[in-house]
A and B are shown apart, each in its own frame.
Chain A
Amino acid sequence: DGGITQSPKYLFRKEGQNVTLSCEQNLNHDAMYWYRQDPGQGLRLIYYSQIVNDFQKGDIAEGYSVSREKKESFPLTVTSAQKNPTAFYLCASGVREIQPQHFGDGTRLSIL
């Protein structure tokens, strides 16, 4: 089945630690996106990539980093510079920016 796989489902971060969230898609989509959602809030764009080896900052990129070395994969690293990382992180992919996006089932990150 085609889809987007995010892992892990739950993640705990210690102070000063970097953690990496995985996102893999087998939909052959060029574009991939990372969003953050806080409780009761909308989605905020962290980073996006329209093509392999290229990515752009979204609205809240500070404290996060990404890479896009393969079409299928778009991992997100939450660095220690992100002081309030507790949130629901959603990865999405799409054919191009004017087409609908499909989401993975998310990773919940909490601070230990």
Chain B
Amino acid sequence: RKEVEQDPGPFNVPEGATVAFNCTYSNSASQSFFWYRQDCRKEPKLLMSVYSSGNEDGRFTAQLNRASQYISLLIRDSKLSDSATYLCVVNTDTGRRALTFGSGTRLQVQP
């Protein structure tokens, strides 16, 4: 089982739609969770951290479910500019002192 798993997509949605991505992680001791966004042929950029109580940043909402070991990202009122690959990132706490990146979920917002 991969340490961090995401549905690769693509998710094709119309502008204005609400879309949600899930990500599962294997290590129950993981402490830190993030969503990154990566545009085609660019570097990943931090979108938001994910907190235990859930958190929101404008149209983006992140949730953490420790019992089921998954995190989610909800995007409301999708814009064309939201088209990108969304990477789930977890500190998997396996003795390796580095974050583990999921392979990403590709989102394509269509006019």
By a beta-carbon cutoff of 8 Å, the part of chain A in contact with chain B is 31, 33, 35, 41-43, 45, 48, 50, 56, 58, 88, 90, 94, 96-106
Q: Flag if A33 contacts B43 (CB, 8 Å).
A: no
> Bound state CA distance, A42 and B87, in angstroms?
8
Q: Distance in Å from the Cβ of B54 to the closest Cβ of chain A?
A: 18
A selection of 26 A-B contacts at a CB cut-off of 8 Å is A31-B98, A33-B98, A35-B101, A43-B87, A45-B96, A45-B98, A45-B100, A48-B97, A50-B97, A56-B97, A58-B96, A96-B97, A97-B91, A97-B97, A97-B98, A97-B99, A100-B34, A100-B46, A100-B49, A100-B89, A100-B99, A102-B46, A103-B44, A104-B43, A105-B42, A106-B43
Chain A residues near B49 (CB, 8 Å)? 100
Known: A48-B97, A97-B97, A105-B42. 7 other contacts (CB 8 A): A35-B101, A58-B96, A97-B99, A99-B32, A105-B43, A106-B42, A106-B43
Is B59 among interface residues, defined by CB-CB distance under 8 A?
no
> Bound state CA distance, A57 and B24, in angstroms?
25
Chain B residues near A100 (CB, 8 Å)? 32, 34, 46, 49, 89, 99
Question: How many B residues face the partner with a CB closer than 8 A?
Answer: 22
Chain B residues near A48 (CB, 8 Å)? 97-98
Residue of B nearest to A102 (CB): B46
> Bound state CA distance, A101 and B101, in angstroms?
11
Q: Flag if A42 contacts B98 (CB, 8 Å).
A: no
> Bound state CA distance, A96 and B42, in angstroms?
24
